[in-house]
């Protein structure tokens, strides 16, 4: 099982990660211009698709 988290202070708001997530647990906040984990963070499959598209290194996944 994996847990995903996004560091808002590091996110540059490129809005690439939400669409990359096959689990559908990432979303983009249009007001804050930041991405966030909108679903159950433990539904992360550990595929690393979001990490691949994120150039800022704001996303961390941890195996638990
Ligand atoms: S690692 Fe994969 S399943 Fe997990 S949040 Fe990123 S894109 Fe979604
Ligand atoms: S890919 Fe990274 S920088 Fe872009 S919106 Fe997602 S967390 Fe932020």
Number of CB atoms found within 10 A of residue 60's CB: 12
* Residue closest to 24 by CA, chosen among 1, 2, 50: 50
Average the pLDDT over 44-51 and give the result. 98
Average the pLDDT over 26-44 and give the result. 97
Q: What is the DSSP letter of 47?
A: -
Confidence band, pLDDT 50/70/90 cuts, at residue 63: very high
What pTM value is reported for the model?
Answer: 0.95
The closest-lying atom of ligand 1 relative to the alpha carbon of residue 37 is 5
pLDDT of residue 50: 98
**61, 63, 64: residue to mutate for ligand 1 pocket, most atoms within 8 A of CB:** 61
Query: Among 3.40.50.720, 3.30.2130.10, 3.40.1010.10, 3.30.70.20, what is the CATH number of 2-63?
Result: 3.30.70.20
Q: Would you say the CB of residue 25 lies under 6 angstroms from ligand 1?
A: yes
Ligand nearest to the CA of 15: 2
Confidence band, pLDDT 50/70/90 cuts, at residue 33: very high
The residues spanned by each domain of the chain are 2-63
């Amino acid at each position: 099982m994996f847990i995903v988290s996004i560091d808002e202070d590091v996110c540059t708001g490129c809005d690439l990660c939400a669409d990359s997530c096959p689990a559908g647990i990432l979303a983009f906040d249009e007001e804050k211009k930041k991405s966030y984990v909108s679903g159950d963070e433990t539904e992360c499959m550990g595929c690393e698709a979001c990490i691949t598209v994120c150039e800022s290194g704001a996303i961390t996944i941890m195996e638990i």
